[in-house]
Amino acid sequence: MKQLLTILSLAFITTIGCAQDNPPFIETPETQSYSYKIVADGIDIPWGLAFITPEDFLVTEKSGTLYRVVNGIKTTVEGLPPIYTRGQGGLLDVALHPDFSNNNIIYITLSTDVEEDGLGGNTALYCAKLTDTSLEDLKLLYKATPNTNKGQHWGSRIVFDQEGHLYFSIGDRGNRDENPQDINRDGGKIYRLNLDGSIPEDNPHVGINGAKTAVYSYGHRNPQALVMHPETGVLWETEHGPRGGDEINIIQKGKNYGWPTITYGINYSGTPITDKKEMEGMEQPFYYWIPSIGPSGMAFSTSGIYPEWKGNLFAGSLAFQYLERLVIENNKVVKREKVLDQIGRLRNVVQGPDGYLYVGVEGKGILKIIPNS
């Protein structure tokens, strides 16, 4: 099976040479084939979501609270490390160890100023043992440097492969001129670690003097979603562009995804960032959005609970406040559709262990999408 997935992954990747020239227009269906119910309310910015069971899950509130929700009742989890809340930073993602049922280990990403140098903060990855509603044996696995007072582009998401690796993302921290293209610096990267926090021996920059050996790919702006493709096992990512140029990328080991040397976006002021949209040695996005939708969280629907959605990709939109359904055929987006239009700033989307899609919506909480019977 492992060999088959590798063959499928390579076959898929080699078919992707450039971004789509004409992204399709998004549709708004006249009738809805679904409804929703709120399964956890009163959460201002529900960033991360991790299911223990369909009725027992963890939710991060960006301002600094980790909730355990059991049968709709929220309880605050104690024992978090200090959180440096600034701008887009705060308590970010949460994920369960692949063997959580036996070891109760969780991983979290957050913004922190642990160096206590008075120069701001940066993104960090921790692990801890969850005991009821307390964290024990807290360990810092990775901390990006240097600290900065800038409040933008912290990332961050966490995901696992089937080979015992953990991937997480850190944005460029508002320093696009230095961080994303330099493998000796943190920021604008996707990182890969072993589950214990050690560096895999086959990481692409191991053995390079001065390089950040945890780095798996680089040239990113602000990665907001990571998910493994359910068939190929390949890592997919979304990231915020500037004004235009939000991207879906298919992440490959050691590859450069171009920011800010190439981009389909422009500065917020309307001035150009670069005149280049492609360059040799830099990867093209699988798909890009113009105008920017503010993609935030991503999931494939695979369960068949929503028959017409099976195999489709879903991404949240912060900017336009809907869940976007993307139909992919022959490695190309052929249809876009709005789901939950005007629901609010949609921060995350996850397929739960029961096969339903759950979304985190700012000011509302966690919503479960239910197909109409």
Distance CA 106, CA 205 (A): 27
Cα–Cα distance list, 315 to 243, 318, 340, 347 (Å): 18, 10, 12, 9
Cα–Cα distance list, 22 to 14, 25, 229, 236, 250 (Å): 21, 9, 24, 21, 19
- Residue 291 preceded by cis peptide, ω within 30: yes
Cα–Cα distance list, 190 to 63, 135, 258, 270 (Å): 24, 26, 13, 28
β 26-27/332-339 pair status = parallel
Going by C-alpha positions, the residue among 164, 231, 214 that lies closest to residue 6 is 231
CA dihedral 347, 178, 144, 61 (to 10 degrees): -20
Largest distance between two CA atoms of the chain:
60
Question: How far separated are the first and last CA of the chain, in Å rounded?
Answer: 36
The conformation of residue 213, written as its DSSP 8-state character, comes to: T
Cα–Cα distance list, 77 to 14, 59, 83, 133 (Å): 45, 10, 14, 4
Considering the candidates 153, 205, 220, 240, report the single residue annotated as catalytic. Answer: 153
- Residues with Cβ within 8 Å of 289's Cβ and at least 6 positions away in sequence, in order, are 23, 241, 244, 245, 246, 247, 295
Measured in whole angstroms, how far is the alpha carbon of residue 148 from the centre of its chain? 22
Distance CA 92, CA 49 (A): 10
Tokens of 59: 């939710």
Measured in whole angstroms, how far is the alpha carbon of residue 362 from the centre of its chain? 17
229 is catalytic: no
> Could you list the active site residues?
153
